[in-house]
Structure 1
């Protein structure tokens, strides 16, 4: 009987399992667990924002960690006879939703991009437009207030379309579906056995990663010291930022990201730091002044930043237009296609089930329960939009009320397109819509009137709506597959968003006070901050802000980015035998190293190599345990940054400086020291 139960699949495995009411799916323990894990995941996302800006999907990791934590202390409570309510997959879904919503705010909050780009420190790295009206001193008060008034609007913008997206169009939402399959598996007897092994792997890798971070700290006693400055491939390669920096975080991220993303990052590093920048640096004193600061956008830094911007804009515009056309085409097909296997709508507007299997019938039945009236969503959007219009224009004087109004009139359409596209491809284009908003609004306001601040603030408004809308629909899909109530999904999303609006600025402030965030040569360069300010400057001032021949290079890179995407899509559509499209690089990934170098790409490629060897040796074990191993590496290394920052704030200095010198320099140092004695 036990073996038969383990072999059941889908909803058959839960046929005799009680599904709690939506009010019992959100419990005190689920909210408390979500709060603790949200802190962990906010630290992870913040650290990733401040280093390279690459954020992998953390849905599966959130679901697995939520299961592990709850199971750990409910087992203890059960032994003490204090456990009153069993732990269900619906409660697990609520925890995962809260965590992802909170950590999603850490990304869309702009603490590593558009908000940081407003700061005087980042603006000082840009020689033009650096006037008081185009800068804003960062403070916790207005940052938390801004996030509260813009982050909830997106939840109401897409909510009325949940049945359309999930039931009628049957969009897959790959991350949401993968998370649901994991949660369903964990709550079966067979899945629980596997989960114990996964949790053990996660715990071991977490402890190892955290301990290694602690070990490295002892050798970081100065600038350019420690394992993070290890010249793996020689000192000349190190100067061009080619080295392995022993980051467990990015080894773990490399195990999660697709192979082609990691290879694209490495290829972008070789093209830029290995070929392009050394050639341009030979023109120093000819194309640009030799007396400029290394961080000036009028020098070599300008080619790096605007080259990356050109490729990102080319990739972003192509995907936005492609997604709009794809959405329109799919909607037309859905309208004309008669599918008797899907829910239909009767004259009263209620969904009916026709000729569906047991799984779909059961899931649809629970998804249609506890509905949230559409008038609530519409009223919520209007009320929150009005509050946001007033508040945002007060926080950022260059942004007028009609600017925000225009953004909120356009945003629901873009939110729908992004949520629909994310359902098809698992690709959120929120940051791309944000970049387009920067150019439009900074150009509209103009440089002398605070166009940089207006563009960056408008980016925050647009990005928050579009990102939260797609995240919510992902979670509705997860809830549909785990029988979690739409009300509990929406409420847990609201709770997670509220957590993120407070946690994200607080954690940012913690890093901001302990380190120099945004220093191109420091531990936390926050590359997107300068990139976003560069985009705003480009929109407000035009091409006159670019160094000599930088516009030509930018046009070439922009067109290259579009061409790569066209080739990839044509191969996907027409070439099926050899699947060559798998080897076409990703333009966005190619562009990221243009500014910060290739050291993190090497870390991520090592993660890919570990996964590749593991899959060759035992593909099933790699599939089962690689996400747990990667999650532990990321969590352990990221959480070490907390005690490291505390030590830095307390003035504690690492006792050893491990630095590498060439033989010639070392001889000079020895001679100098000998002479000094």
Structure 2
């Protein structure tokens, strides 16, 4: 058994799995918290393609709710029940991305032509039952597939899963319990000197999940459990400010488009500033480096390429016209940059993952034990060691690691007697089998959920999508998700965007371009791959959190099922609600992720390009492919490594190009605030990091939640001022 330092509220690690976890109160709390985050993710996903798991706010809100209600509770709220709440919330919150409601579905419904759909009458997704059926088909096969990966990646290889590890440590600090840390989890070497860098999840666009995952990179050592009260007050205050702005913005929409360079530039090139607290908060979460890359993309795309295309007659229409205007023209450049960056990064992930698998198979990992720090010390150590993936790494699905298995080497701590150090290479510490998901449930569930995916897809899209293509997409997605999960475990990023685009490329080779519905089939294949990879990664992160705290894997699996079932319905309803109240696409909801998906499908299927796009795309694609290769292969030991970080990563640059300037400028302001707060105002103050995340999360959640109020005002035709 692991050696631990007992804390006042602690109990044996192996006994915690038997504690009540799947309770009505924890389920309701998780669903409510997840719903709040889902609404926020829908708002910003349709606007900018950006979503987040929000693991830290979920854990914090769950603890605060039951801490407040504790005097009235008959049963004590434990750390493992806190894990269940957080797992349910995350499963609900990521629905808009997992089921394609911010990307694939809008691309099919809003942007795809009847000819591309393979049906004379087009694809009708206006009925709610079709949206629910589609989401249900994608909701579970990735979850079942994640179950057998737990033993390999968490128990045997002991991959770090930095977000899951740090979230577990935060919960342990709140509850005053001890982590089951069998080893000093060693993360890949740091790739950047920027202390504030962490996850976002555009498309994720990807990821765009690849959202990952922001919270783990900025957790800090909390001095006392009572500090949660300060954090809750901070979250409430910033949420209130953001909420007020949201409502005021409805009545005074001019504050959302401030012409900082004059009305002429604003009207001609769409260069405005939107002082949205939520976008500033997103920039604070992303960090300075990523927002700086996005700013570079914005300047390059909107201040150089857009005027050039318009002046040269390559994009003669209004600048905001997707087909004839500069916005549509530079979108292709953005797509080329992101595809080249993602594919190169993904290929490097494949090579390093295969190398790591070969090394782990040739040398079984040791079960390590050693002295364990207190949760306070452990959390500080996790921060120091797990700052491995900056936001641009997540966005571009890059891999930063040396491929080594340092975490599998035996602890050489001399403070323990030799008899206390397990040397049996076949021994792995895990919970009793009664708390595990059985092999029968896993196999049957995987088969049934895969069949459900085939049936649901056919029900929604009809015979234009052949059954063999759906089956092929499912099988391919399972193989690709293994690589995605390994990358997530080692680097804290899940390359869902790269995997989705790779799936599109593969299906462009499998499906003849002349086949009716080739574009539709291409989009569906990408959706299936992205869903499987995201679900498997999300559940593995949660299982890592649960393993460190002693939570029941069976309970966490149930949490994922509960959250997914609820999210299937809520996501479909919210998508219908947005479509019934707002015009989509529009100036407010440009659905950039959907545009990326449909344009990628058209590109790989040989559709024609606007004038001169091909030449620009080739040159810039090669440039950013080289940059991606360098950023993923040059190690910290190389003398040129310190200069590589100044090269802009392709995906954040692409995001800066395809998002309108008002979004990018606000995020850049947030990145600057983050930089000066962490590096200039509070250098070395670890507590300042978590406060920054709480502060920025409040800004995001406030506007996202009160977007429902704006929806109500819009539906009632309340006039603007």
Give your verdict on TM over 0.5.
yes
Aligned to 1:526: 591
Equivalent residue in structure 1 for 2:614, among 551, 572, 577: 551
Distance 1:219 1:292, change over 3 A: closer
2:681 equivalent to 1:617 = yes
TM-score (norm 2): 0.80
Are the aligned partners of 2:10 and 2:176 in contact in 1 as well (CA < 8 Å)?
Answer: no
Deviations 1:395-435 (A, max 9, x none): 21221111111112222211111111111111112222222
Name the CA distance, whole Å, in 2 between partners of 1:355 and 1:365.
Answer: 17
Name the CA distance, whole Å, in 1 between partners of 2:66 and 2:11.
Answer: 22
The runs of 5 or more residues in structure 2 that have no matched partner are: 178-222, 370-417
| Number of residue-to-residue matches in the alignment | 616
2:331 equivalent to 1:305 = yes
Cα deviation for residue 637 of structure 1 reads 1.0
2:151 equivalent to 1:163 = yes
Distance 1:363 1:232, change over 3 A: farther
2:482 equivalent to 1:416 = yes
Cα deviation for residue 232 of structure 1 reads 2.5
Aligned to 2:92: 102
Are the aligned partners of 1:407 and 1:461 in contact in 2 as well (CA < 8 Å)?
Answer: yes
Aligned to 1:186: 174
Deviations 1:419-456 (A, max 9, x none): 11111111112222222333443561536611222222
> What value does the CA root-mean-square deviation take over the aligned residues?
2.8
Cα deviation for residue 325 of structure 1 reads 0.7
Equivalent residue in structure 2 for 1:484, among 537, 551, 556: 551
Are the aligned partners of 1:363 and 1:481 in contact in 2 as well (CA < 8 Å)?
Answer: no
Most deviating of 432-441 and 375-384 = 432-441
Name the CA distance, whole Å, in 2 between partners of 1:151 and 1:455.
Answer: 19
Aligned to 1:592: 655
Aligned to 1:209: 242
Distance 1:386 1:545, change over 3 A: same
Q: What secondary structure does 1:516 align onto?
A: coil
Cα deviation for residue 21 of structure 1 reads 4.4
Distance 1:181 1:13, change over 3 A: farther
2:111 equivalent to 1:111 = no
Deviations 1:501-543 (A, max 9, x none): 1111111222111111222xx1111111122111122233x0x
Cα deviation for residue 367 of structure 1 reads 7.2
Cα deviation for residue 467 of structure 1 reads 1.0
Q: What secondary structure does 1:246 align onto?
A: coil
Cα deviation for residue 98 of structure 1 reads 0.8
1:487-526 equivalences under 5 Å are 487-519=554-586, 522-526=587-591
Name the CA distance, whole Å, in 1 between partners of 2:87 and 2:500.
Answer: 24
Name the CA distance, whole Å, in 2 between partners of 1:321 and 1:133.
Answer: 39
Equivalent residue in structure 1 for 2:444, among 366, 379, 391: 379
2:497 equivalent to 1:431 = yes
Cα deviation for residue 578 of structure 1 reads 6.9
Aligned to 1:231: 259
Are the aligned partners of 1:134 and 1:450 in contact in 2 as well (CA < 8 Å)?
Answer: no
Q: What secondary structure does 1:575 align onto?
A: coil
Are the aligned partners of 1:324 and 1:417 in contact in 2 as well (CA < 8 Å)?
Answer: yes
Most deviating of 83-92 and 127-136 = 127-136
Name the CA distance, whole Å, in 2 between partners of 1:355 and 1:333.
Answer: 27
Distance 1:200 1:368, change over 3 A: farther
Aligned to 2:192: none
Q: Which has the larger radius of gyration?
A: 1
2:393 equivalent to 1:405 = no
Cα deviation for residue 356 of structure 1 reads 4.9
Cα deviation for residue 206 of structure 1 reads 1.0
Cα deviation for residue 368 of structure 1 reads 6.1
Most deviating of 230-239 and 611-620 = 230-239
The runs of 5 or more residues in structure 1 that have no matched partner are: 1-7, 221-225, 344-352, 657-677
Deviations 1:353-372 (A, max 9, x none): 99559xxxx99444766122
Name the CA distance, whole Å, in 2 between partners of 1:317 and 1:354.
Answer: 48
Distance 1:518 1:130, change over 3 A: farther
Name the CA distance, whole Å, in 2 between partners of 1:215 and 1:597.
Answer: 22
Name the CA distance, whole Å, in 2 between partners of 1:101 and 1:191.
Answer: 29
Q: What secondary structure does 1:477 align onto?
A: helix
Are the aligned partners of 1:129 and 1:447 in contact in 2 as well (CA < 8 Å)?
Answer: no
Distance 1:197 1:371, change over 3 A: same
TM-score (norm 1): 0.85
Aligned to 2:460: 395
Aligned to 2:287: 258
Q: What secondary structure does 2:146 align onto?
A: helix
Cα deviation for residue 148 of structure 1 reads 0.8
Are the aligned partners of 2:102 and 2:591 in contact in 1 as well (CA < 8 Å)?
Answer: yes
Deviations 1:450-487 (A, max 9, x none): 12222222222221111101111111111111211111
1:554-633 equivalences under 5 Å are 554-575=617-638, 579-615=642-678, 616-618=680-682, 619-633=685-699
Deviations 1:137-173 (A, max 9, x none): 3332111111112210111112112111012211111
Are the aligned partners of 2:123 and 2:461 in contact in 1 as well (CA < 8 Å)?
Answer: no
Are the aligned partners of 2:353 and 2:487 in contact in 1 as well (CA < 8 Å)?
Answer: yes
Deviations 1:174-211 (A, max 9, x none): 21112111111111295421111111111111111112
Are the aligned partners of 1:396 and 1:457 in contact in 2 as well (CA < 8 Å)?
Answer: no
Most deviating of 34-43 and 603-612 = 603-612
Aligned to 1:146: 134
Aligned to 1:67: 63
Name the CA distance, whole Å, in 1 between partners of 2:488 and 2:455.
Answer: 31
Cα deviation for residue 617 of structure 1 reads 2.0
Name the CA distance, whole Å, in 2 between partners of 1:128 and 1:160.
Answer: 38
Q: What secondary structure does 1:547 align onto?
A: coil
Indicate the structure with greater helix content.
Answer: 1
Name the CA distance, whole Å, in 2 between partners of 1:246 and 1:303.
Answer: 27
Are the aligned partners of 2:16 and 2:550 in contact in 1 as well (CA < 8 Å)?
Answer: no
Are the aligned partners of 2:256 and 2:273 in contact in 1 as well (CA < 8 Å)?
Answer: yes
